[in-house]
Amino acid sequence: MGNSSGKPYMIGIIGGGVAGMACALWLKQLGCTPIILEQNTKPGGQLLQLNRINRWVLGSPGQTSVQLAETYAEHIRQVAVDIIFQARLLAAATTATGFAVEVEQAGTRLYFSMRALVIATGTRVLGPEIFADLPGFSSCYQAGGISFFPTAHVGQLPELAGKSVAVIGGGDNAYFTAKDAALAGAQVHLLIRSRPKARPVVHREVLGLVAQGRIIEHVGAQASAFRQHQGGIEILLQDNGKVYADRVFARLGFAANTEFLDSFAVFNGMAKEAGYIKTDASKRTSIPWVYAIGDVANAKHQSVVNAIAEGAIAAQDLSERV
């Protein structure tokens, strides 16, 4: 539908992480009016919680994820993209020209007329809910012996020398954690439920430590119970084996932040797969004029560079339609 008024249409972007910021930047340069709805007090999403060197972003050697987030946020500020912080979506309904959106910010209700919506809410870390029903887990977790966030171990590395560490998971983050702990001097037990899922290059990085016995891979090991034992945690396995650890780092992967969509009729019937939003090549969802970008729509290839690219793709498609 064309815009006879000549005024730029407002495009609402739900989420101020990398994908949302990239989409907003491109929309702004292409003559649209983006507005980011961000639930936190600053943009950057999950990058703000990953304070370690990011080795994967071209042109940004030596920068931590937090520094990348700050660089991207500064760019957004320079081009004067509007961001509503501490925003909570209250209502969204279709109209003849797009969507009527209601947002709460610090107790104040704000109303917008938007031509399109872009969902860029990313993912969340799978955490305690995975083990909640296992005997002994709750007490061990509450005692602080088990952590879930991918880089929660980094600040503890100096304390791990000579300790026994269990890492639960078979993906990239599990292998990175196992490597960090082993290089810090810990004896590491890597508990993999089915098979290693880390990228081959990541797996190869730890093979030397495995050969030295500093990391022991337990393939087919699934926790059945936890119990506090001798100041640490004993993990009981379904095959009747057991592993003792002074510290346990669970690296169980991520889930798409899409549960909130179920509260709004406008998103009913949106096509998803395992919770991740399905899109076409232009990042359009099954709901007209609703797009999804970044990790929330990409279960397999989650990265900063993919998030940036998907934000640009959606923006270009939108600019050609409004």
Please check whether residues 136 and 241 belong to one and the same domain: yes
In this prediction the pTM is 0.91
For residue 322, the Cα-to-chain-centroid distance in whole angstroms is 30
Please check whether residues 316 and 223 belong to one and the same domain: no
Please check whether residues 57 and 201 belong to one and the same domain: no
pLDDT value at residue 33: 96
Please check whether residues 243 and 263 belong to one and the same domain: no
pLDDT value at residue 1: 39
Report yes or no on 1 lying in a domain.
no
pLDDT value at residue 73: 97
Report yes or no on 276 lying in a domain.
yes
Among 252, 275, 308, where does a domain finish? 252
Please check whether residues 153 and 246 belong to one and the same domain: yes
| Residue range(s) defining the domain that contains residue 198 | 127-252
Distance CA 276, CA 261 (A): 12
CATH number at residue 260: 3.50.50.60
pLDDT value at residue 168: 98
What is the H or E stretch that residue 181 is in? Answer: helix 172-183
Please check whether residues 23 and 94 belong to one and the same domain: yes
Average pLDDT on 70-87 reads: 97
Distance CA 35, CA 113 (A): 11
Is the Cβ–Cβ distance between 191 and 243 less than 8 Å? yes
Q: How high is the mean pLDDT of the chain?
A: 94
Please check whether residues 26 and 92 belong to one and the same domain: yes
Percent of the chain with pLDDT over 70: 98
Report yes or no on 3 lying in a domain.
no
Report yes or no on 5 lying in a domain.
no
Among 219, 252, 285, where does a domain finish? 252
Residues in contact with 96: Cβ distance below 8 Å, sequence separation at least 6, in sequence order: none
Give 103-130 pLDDT, tens digit per residue. Answer: 999 999 999 999 999 999 999 999 999 9
Report yes or no on 4 lying in a domain.
no
Give 199-215 pLDDT, tens digit per residue. Answer: 999 999 899 999 999 99
Nearest to 280 by CA among 232, 305, 317, 244: 317
Nearest to 257 by CA among 1, 40, 9: 40
Distance CA 128, CA 132 (A): 6
**Total structural domains within the chain:** 2
Please check whether residues 69 and 164 belong to one and the same domain: no
Please check whether residues 228 and 272 belong to one and the same domain: no
